[in-house]
Amino acid sequence: MSNGEVPVGLEVWLIGTTTELDAALAAWQHIGRLIYRSPLRQLDGAGDTGRFRLYVRVSIAVAASTSTRHKQPTPAAGATLVDLDTARQKRGA
């Protein structure tokens, strides 16, 4: 960590297909350090075919002056809201 940064520990449950989970893990590892990864657990509920659950702990360095308040993404900032149910229906998942 460089000067002026503090580690932030996060605990996250990730749920999705193996492809989605791999992409999420790659993103987490790109911005921080993976501390723990649970075994992959297959979901067995109605509509959960091909979906899995994964628990991870990550450590991310953030600027000490970063606000802890959540800022809502705005379209002007390039954020896009994705309707996952519609996206899955379109690709036939």
- What CATH number corresponds to the domain at position 60? 3.30.1660
Residue 77 lies in a domain: no
In this model, does residue 68 exceed pLDDT 60?
Answer: no
Name the band, by pLDDT with cuts 50, 70 and 90, for residue 37: very high
Whether 59 maps to a domain, the answer reads yes
Q: Is residue 80 part of a domain?
A: no
Give, in degrees to the nearest 5, the angle at Cα 76 between 74 and 79.
50
- Residue 92 falls within a domain, yes or no? no
Classify residue 81: in a domain, yes or no: no
In the chain, the number of structural domains is: 1
* DSSP sequence for 9-75: EEEEEEEE-HHHHHHHHHHHHHHSEEEEEPPPEE--STT-TT-EEEEEEEEEEEETT---SPPPP-G
How high is the pLDDT of residue 23? 93
Q: For residue 82, is pLDDT > 90? A: no
Is residue 11 situated within a structural domain? Answer: yes
pLDDT in tens, 11-28: 889 999 999 999 999 988
For 39, the domain range is 7-64
Q: What is the mean pLDDT of residues 80-90?
A: 73
**Predicted confidence (pLDDT) at residue 40 exceeds the cutoff of 70:** yes
Asked if residue 71 belongs to a domain, the reply is no
What is the C-alpha to C-alpha distance for residues 37 and 24, in angstroms, rounded to an integer? 12
pTM (2 decimals)? Answer: 0.58
pLDDT at 61: 80
